Amino acid sequence: MEFDLVKEVINAKEIVITKPVRTTNTAPIIFRDKGTGILTNGTAEIEISPEIATLINGQKIEEMIQLSVLMEGDSNGIYISKKNKNTFVITELQNGVSNTPFSYNISLQAAE
| pLDDT of res. 8 | 46
Q: In whole angstroms, what is the distance from residue 49 CA to residue 94 CA?
A: 29
Report domain 27-109's class: mainly beta
Summarize pLDDT for 11-68 with one digit per residue, the tens.
Answer: 455 544 444 555 556 667 788 888 999 999 999 999 988 888 888 877 777 777 889 9
- Specify burial of residue 53 (Cβ count, 10 A radius: 0-12, 13-18, 19+): middle
**Within 10 A of 104 (CB to CB), how many other CB atoms are there?**
18
Q: Quick check: pTM over 0.75?
A: no
- Residue with the bigger pLDDT between 6 and 37: it is 37
DSSP code, position 110 = P
